[in-house]
Amino acid sequence: GAVVSQHPSWVICKSGTSVKIECRSLDFQATTMFWYRQFPKQSLMLMATSNEGSKATYEQGVEKDKFLINHASLTLSTLTVTSAHPEDSSFYICSAREGQNTGELFFGEGSRLTVL
Amino acid sequence: SQELEQSPQSLIVQEGKNLTINCTSSKTLYGLYWYKQKYGEGLIFLMMLQKGGEEKSHEKITAKLDEKKQQSSLHITASQPSHAGIYLCGAGWTQGAQKLVFGQGTRLTINP
């Protein structure tokens, strides 16, 4: 079945630095990918919709300058947490759908970010 | 307010027992997805339901979507330790909606 891969699976960084997380669809093309954030013991919160070749669509309350999203190809979307702070520490998960509007939505393994 | 409510939020059952998790929407669903997650890991797709009254099964897990398409239940028969984890329902409310909104999740513990 289709697979979505994230890298890195976990990262520790110092406060003030920027961190990039990659989301790849391994055997299918994804014109749209989604980035979610999950706090401990909480559900997934949609952050933004990543659109190949165009600007990402951010959910209300998500800072677009803080969480930069780039969807440069049909198989890769990146999330960059800029000037990270401890409150940005979280589990970030991406997802992508194979095909158009129907079908299974595949999720990556997640990336755990810890900002010291 | 939460658009998608899951209940219970946590559940502890004895191995071998049956259990049910519910997911209720405040409005009519277009599609309802069930996922399983182990803490700190990605989501594993279980089932997708789109039609009112639809029911799907995979091994010992059965999911149903009611006729009004506002409530879904996930039923596990003869639970096993491997069923432990967090179960999440995700919903889309319009045709063509690709992004999902998730319920709070249900943390399932199976006691041997």
Give the span between the Cα atoms of A67 and B46, in whole angstroms.
30
Q: What is the pLDDT of residue B5?
A: 92
Q: What is the pLDDT of residue A103?
A: 60
Q: What is the pLDDT of residue A42?
A: 80
Helices marked H in chain B — which ranges?
A: none
Q: What is the pLDDT of residue B2?
A: 59
Judged against a pLDDT cut of 90, whether residue A72 lies above it is answered with no
Q: Which residue has the tokens 């943390």?
A: B107
- Whether omega for the bond prior to residue A8 falls within 30 degrees of 0, making it cis, is yes
Q: Which residue has the tokens 């969807």?
A: A71
pLDDT in tens, B60-79: 999 999 988 899 999 999 99
How many helices, marked H, and strands, marked E, lie in chain A? 0, 11
The answer to whether A43 and A35 have CB atoms below 8 angstroms apart is no
Average pLDDT, rounded, for chain B: 90
Judged against a pLDDT cut of 90, whether residue A115 lies above it is answered with yes
List the beta strands (DSSP E) in chain A: 4-7, 10-13, 19-25, 32-38, 44-51, 57-58, 67-73, 76-81, 90-97, 105-107, 111-115
**Average pLDDT in the A8-35 region?**
93
Token duo for residue A109 = 């393994």
Average pLDDT, rounded, for chain A: 89
Judged against a pLDDT cut of 60, whether residue B97 lies above it is answered with no
Judged against a pLDDT cut of 70, whether residue A102 lies above it is answered with no
Token duo for residue A107 = 């999720």
Q: What is the pLDDT of residue A59?
A: 92
A106 touches chain B (CB under 8 A): yes
Tell me the β-bridge partners of B6: B23
A60 touches chain B (CB under 8 A): no
Q: What is the pLDDT of residue B19?
A: 98
Tell me the β-bridge partners of A12: A114
CB atoms within 10 A of CB B4: 23
Per the model's pLDDT, the better-predicted residue between B25 and A53 turns out to be B25
A43 touches chain B (CB under 8 A): yes
Tell me the nearest-neighbour CA distance from A49 into chain B, angstroms.
Answer: 8
The answer to whether B91 and B100 have CB atoms below 8 angstroms apart is yes
Proportion of chain A above pLDDT 90, given as a percent: 64
Q: What is the pLDDT of residue A1?
A: 58
Give me the phi and psi of B42, to 5 degrees please: -75, 180
Do A44 and B102 lie within an 8 Å CB cutoff?
yes
Judged against a pLDDT cut of 60, whether residue B1 lies above it is answered with no
